Amino acid sequence: MHKKARALILIPFLLFYAFPAGAVEKEERKWQDEVIYSIMVDRFLNGDSKNDFKVDVDNPLAYNGGDFKGITDKLEYLQKMGFTTIMLSPVFDNEANGYHGYWINDFYKTEEHFGTMKEFKALVKEAHKRKMKVIIDFNVNNVGPNHPWLADPEKKNWIHEKKSAKSTSSKNELEKAWIDDLPDLAQENPETAKYLIDAAKWWVKETDVDGYRIDAVNNVPMEFWSDFTKAVKSEKKDFYLLGDTSGLGEADIAAYQQTGIDGFMNFPLNEELRSFFGKPAQDLAGLVTATETNQNHFKHPELMGNFLDNQDMPRFTRDAILNKQHPGTRWKLALSYLYTTPGIPVVYYGTEIAMNGNKEPENRALMAFKAEKELIDYITKLAELRQQLPALTRGDIVWLHDQDGMAVFKRTYKDETIIVVINNSTKSQAITLGKNVVRKNQELRGLLGGDLVRANDDKFSVITDRDEVEIYAVAEESGLNIPYMIVMGLVYFLFVVFIVLLWKRSKRNKEKN
């Protein structure tokens, strides 16, 4: 009886402490709230051996067995880490050895090594059940090297004459060149354009995917993209288009915004991220400038795809190893920045286990699902904070400090203020924040390491160890909360009365028996 009483007394305290103070009302989910996990389908997980023909896991240029079933089986694994969207390499039928998906043979079929259309739809349906979104790579720039259109006289005007680009700075040449010796499609031909747009609309209607990553945007005429985006977005509300414009600067990338593409893979920022986080004590100027340039050039910087590596470049882990650094530490610092600054984090498969690899095909190795608990737990925590704190996805950004490898910035949204401190250096560092940043009656509550900073002479001294990150929530200074104590006292009193009455009733029943 006494044990039951003690348990009941604890209930009101547990209920009160279950609700965080100052919780922000949950708003409608937007694309800027997403965290994307980028997957090369063939290299993730072999979930169905029935489609394993001509598979050779020892050959990095052959199919390795990954398929739709394997991704479906791992959705819970990805969801637990906080990923809300999966982005897949092209899923269309490809020519022999087109494991990467870019040697397209038929835009209306799935690649048989990956699975059937039924299995792909099952993957999308299961993702949606988990409230996860699905983006697929839709490549309209080229087809496979031996595509049937090459031998079809009626399709002669669908493909440009074979030639390479003499200058990568010539937009006209790039739009007609056979990049990587692949047949370049003539999107200025109305018949070609209609085929590609119809196929893009068909996949939305048929499979209910949520977005496209569109490859080689700058190798295709802007006029085509304007028609493409309008047509595709008419098929589904809030359909997201993420453009790949490798090789362009911010101003050139921004020019494509007028076509209706929502965001772009942020290559200029990527260069600065890899430079700064690849090793400690680097100059912050380039990173700060790149972040500010995004705000100035793009209508919606929050929709840009920010990333550390992808299928076309050496993995970030390799940078760390070449610099004689611990990959896990480098990844924690870099991902902290990626998850807390404006833009959508795009995380390449294998990041959670710090996969290594040089340029392709090394960077496309078969995923190894080994336990890297420390890094996985850290990614999970970052994702939780990103989902819980609207300021990290919707707030403005103000730099407070950017010296000696110490990055400090503030994100503010409505009445929520978050301060992020990243110490990418070889020593502990301290910074002082004045009352223009945090008021006297406020405090900084650490959400990663649990640090608590209070005012001292109207100033806040923040000390961060080397290679460490802290994300602070600005909150009213804690202390005696009189209204809270009165309520808790009342609840406690009522529970004591309840327990006494219950005890007396039990005693009377025993006496009657």
Over residues 36-68, the pLDDT tens digits come to: 999 999 999 999 999 999 999 999 999 999 999
Q: What's the confidence (pLDDT) of residue 10?
A: 44
Crossing angle (nearest 10°) for helices 222-233 and 190-207: 30
Contacts of 162 (CB under 8 A, 6+ apart): 178, 183
170-228 pLDDT, tens digit per residue, is 788 889 999 999 999 999 999 999 999 999 999 999 999 999 999 999 999 999 999 99
Structure-block tokens of residue 233: 């977005």
pLDDT at residue 419, rounded to an integer: 97
The string over 304-315, giving b where at least 16 C-beta atoms fall within 10 Å of a residue's C-beta and e elsewhere, is: bbbbbbbbebbb
Q: Are 476 and 445 in contact (CB under 8 A)?
A: no
Of 317-321, 374-378, 504-508, which range is least confident? 504-508
Assess contact for 490 and 482: CB atoms under 8 A. no
What is the CA angle 455-415-465, rounded to 5?
A: 45
Q: Is the pLDDT of residue 513 over 80?
A: no
Per-residue pLDDT, 220:
96
Identity at 455, one-letter amino acid code: A
pLDDT of residue 512: 63
Task: Report pLDDT for 432.
Answer: 94
Arithmetic mean of pLDDT over the chain: 91
Asked if pLDDT for residue 368 goes beyond 90, the answer is yes
Q: Nearest Cα to 476, choosing from 11, 21, 32? A: 21
Amino acid (one-letter) located at 82: G
Average pLDDT score over residue span 439-448: 92
pLDDT of residue 20: 42
Query: What pLDDT is stored for residue 3 in this prediction?
Result: 44
Share of the chain above pLDDT 70, in %: 90
| pTM beyond 0.85 | yes
Contacts of 84 by beta carbon, 8 Å cutoff, 6+ apart: 33, 34, 35, 36, 131, 132, 133, 387
Residue with tokens 């305290």: 13
Task: Give SS3 for 91.
Answer: coil
Cβ neighbours around 97 below 10 Å, total: 14
- Encoding tokens for residue 226? 């304007």
Contacts of 289 (CB under 8 A, 6+ apart): 272
pLDDT of residue 501: 76
Q: What is the mean pLDDT of residues 7-34?
A: 59
For position 17, what pLDDT does the model report? Answer: 38
7 pLDDT more than 50: no
The answer to whether 335 and 382 have CB atoms below 8 angstroms apart is yes
Residue 2 in this model has a pLDDT that exceeds 50: no
Q: Helices 327-340 and 373-388 sit at what angle, rounded to 10 degrees?
A: 10
Lowest mean pLDDT among 7-16, 263-272, 373-382, 402-411: 7-16
Contact criterion met (CB below 8 Å) for 43 and 362: no
Let me know the angle formed at the C-alpha of 361 by 360 and 364, rounded to the nearest 5 degrees. 100
* Kind and range of the H or E run holding 419: strand 416-423
pLDDT score, position 213: 98
Which two structure tokens, joined as six digits, stand for 184? 């370049």
3-state DSSP assignment of residue 202: helix
Contact 414, 424 (CB under 8 A): no
For residue 9, pLDDT over 90 is answered with: no
**In this predicted structure, what is the pLDDT of residue 288?**
95
Distance, CA of 396 to CA of 409 (rounded, Å): 10
Select from 137, 142, 132, 116 the least CA-distant residue to 48: 116
For residue 13, the model assigns a pLDDT of 44
pLDDT band at 411 (very low <50, low <70, confident <90, very high): very high
pLDDT of 481 = 44
For residue 297, count other CB atoms closer than 10 A to its CB.
18
φ and ψ at 120, to 5 degrees? -70, -45
Contact between residue 379 and residue 81 where contact means Cβ atoms under 8 Å apart: yes
Number of H helices, E strands in the chain: 15, 18
Q: Which of 1-10, 147-156, 406-415, 454-463 has the lowest mean pLDDT?
A: 1-10
Identify the pLDDT of residue 202.
Answer: 98
229-234 long-range contacts (CB < 8 A, ≥24 apart) are 229/259, 229/260, 229/261, 230/260, 231/197, 231/200, 231/201, 232/197, 232/200, 232/201, 232/204, 233/260, 234/201
pLDDT tens track for 322-356: 999 999 999 999 999 999 999 999 999 999 999 99
Q: What are phi and psi of 467, to 5 degrees?
A: 55, 35
Using N-to-C axis directions, what is the helix angle for 117-129 and 190-207, rounded to 10°?
A: 60
Grouping H, G, I as helix, E, B as strand and the rest as coil, residue 24 is coil
The domains located in the chain, with CATH, are 31-392 (3.20.20.80), 398-476 (2.60.40.1180)
Q: What is the pLDDT of residues 130-144, one digit of tens each?
A: 999 999 999 999 999
Mapping DSSP onto H, E and C, the string for 240-289 reads EEEECCCCCCHHHHHHHHHHCCCEEECHHHHHHHHHHHCCCCCCCHHHHH
Query: Which pLDDT band holds residue 488 (cuts at 50, 70, 90)?
Result: low
Q: What is the mean pLDDT of residues 250-268?
A: 93
